[in-house]
Chain A
Amino acid sequence: MTQTDAGPLLRIRGLRKSFGSHAVLHGIDLDVQRGSVTVLLGPSGSGKSTLLRCINHLEKPDGGFVELDGDLIGYRPVATSQGKVKRLQELPSRELTRQRARIGMVFQQFNLFPHLTVLENLVEAPVALRRASRREAAATARELLERVGLAGREGAYPKQLSGGQQQRVAIARALALKPDLLLFDEPTSALDPELVGEVLRVVKDLALSGMSMIVVTHEIGFAREVADNVVFIDGGRVLETGRPEDVLNSATHERTRAFLEAVL
């Protein structure tokens, strides 16, 4: 991994994506600074989740690129003899796998592995990627569980936990690979209202510890409190971007104001 301290951690330029004839992303440009929290806001169907899924190449973009720490995600540039980029060649699945391990993801539906215990959920990836022995991975997993407030639940199966606990396990699982960037796809939308707080607290703690992350959420209060940067997306375009107090209090676009009024 090359650590280039200058420039943003993540650079997205001109990202386009369509599903069939339906264009979801119309050229997205976005920078995420090291150690910062970016909150993506926008109505459902605006392309927030698709954008997030393009960042770790769960969706293949139709155009544009995503660069993490100077490395193109999902592609390798093939140059012509004149030194111009002739095409972007998709990486073989082995290398995609390696890149994805640098970007953690937390899903709306948690997506814990129900047939594995909490500990096994956390140990699976570090062992599979040969980052650690089973014993070391288990020790790290216990530390992470303590950090998300779930020490002592190692042996439980996901279905035996509440939604909030499951989501905290999912966060610990994403952290087990020590990712450079964490993506949250509406992490509290599937939770009962009284469980939202415990998950947001964990996300906030992570933010304070200097984790770089992108959070798709409808929790405006969270955005106001934790975000360094708020991005408002509508119709597959970035309409507004800036510090939370600017975007949330004095949005320039009518569309943004209408959305904020509806969710607040």
Chain B
Amino acid sequence: MSYSDADLLDARLAAPPRPGRWISAAITLLLAAMLVHSLLTNARFQWNVVGQYFTSSSVIGGLELTLWLTAATMSAGFVLGVGVAYVRLWGSSLPRSFAFGFVWLLRSVPVLVQLLFWYELASLYPRLSFGIPFGPSFGTTDTAHLFSGELAAFVTLTLDVAAFSSEIVRGGILSVDRGQSEAAKSLGLGRLRTFRRIVLPQAMPAIVPATGNLLIGTLKSTSLVSVIAVVDLLYSVQLIYNADFQIVPLLLVATLWYVILTTLLSIGQYYVERYYSRGTRGTATVKGVDLT
């Protein structure tokens, strides 16, 4: 069989048939429909109760605590993490081993266990003195008054974020070509300026997605503080369902809020990534972001 060149030139270009796609799409749609149907028709979800509590003042109060705890631990932890990464990469040997030990220890102990430790600090060190190490002390205070649940939560999550973000930052920095810092050096830029102006901005495209992940993880980790009676989003709904036993609808209230916050953070991440991809021609990484 032969065709004329003109026929071939006029022909439409088509993708090969992919029957598998149609089947998988049909199955996905079916499952989604079943899920929605069940969500709407199963009366035990009690959507009316969800609606009733969704913006109640105690839930909003818990939401606020979750938000500030996330924001505070994430910013303090990230700054600390950048410092730890800096020391691990360029510090002298003793600080470097300390930084390594810090990351090792913090990553080895579950956050919940660390949280309980900080909360129980008073039983480990009942009194805290200020003075010269191994020398005279100027003042003493009871740790029981010092470490409230909220402070324990802040310290634990901050240190946790610092440990993980330091590894993220370190990885990002290692991904920047060595020639960049050599060029900066040859131009007479100081070490700190080179780090801040040249290396760190270029490490950001590698740092941002992983940090977005960490931020979302931290947002959800804040729910752990409910075990030490800090009234976050989760604990605020628990307080309500402990009184009226409407467990499922109140957990849904918390769930919906977590989903909303995570969605907002993901959208923010998209814009941050776009900002840091300046100067790179391809935008594939930005387009590839999953907004869920």
Contact = CB atoms under 8 A, between A and B. Distances in A.
Interface of A: 56, 58, 93-94, 97-98, 100-101, 103-105, 107, 109, 111-117, 124-125, 128-129, 157-160, 173-174, 177
B80 to A, nearest CB: 24
B216 interface: no
Contacts, number: 75
Give the size category of B's interface with A.
20 to 34
Interface in B180-212: 180, 182-191, 193, 197-198, 201-202
Contact of A101 (B183, B187, B201, B202): B187
B280 to A, nearest CB: 6
Contact of A177 (B180, B187, B202, B280): B187
Given A115-B202, A128-B193, 20 more contacts: A56-B186, A58-B182, A58-B185, A94-B190, A97-B189, A100-B186, A101-B188, A107-B182, A109-B177, A109-B179, A111-B180, A113-B180, A113-B183, A113-B202, A117-B279, A124-B197, A159-B281, A160-B281, A173-B187, A174-B187
Contacts of B127: none
A115 B281 contact: no
Contacts of A124: 187, 189, 197-198
B239 to A, nearest CB: 48
A197 to B, nearest CB: 24
A104 B183 CA distance: 10
B274 interface: no
Given A128-B189, A173-B187, A111 B202 contact: no
25 contacts: A56-B186, A93-B191, A94-B190, A97-B188, A98-B188, A100-B186, A100-B188, A101-B188, A103-B186, A105-B186, A107-B182, A109-B179, A111-B182, A111-B183, A113-B183, A113-B198, A115-B201, A115-B278, A125-B187, A125-B188, A129-B189, A159-B279, A160-B281, A173-B187, A174-B187
A207 B53 CA distance: 78
Rank and list the top 4 A-B pairs by shortest CB-CB distance, nearest first.
A101-B188, A111-B183, A157-B279, A105-B186
A124 B187 CA distance: 9
Contacts of B187: 100-101, 104, 124-125, 173-174, 177
A255 B68 CA distance: 71
Nearest to B197: A124
A178 to B, nearest CB: 12
A243 to B, nearest CB: 29
B182 A129 contact: no
A101 B187 CA distance: 5
Nearest to B281: A159
A114 B197 CA distance: 12
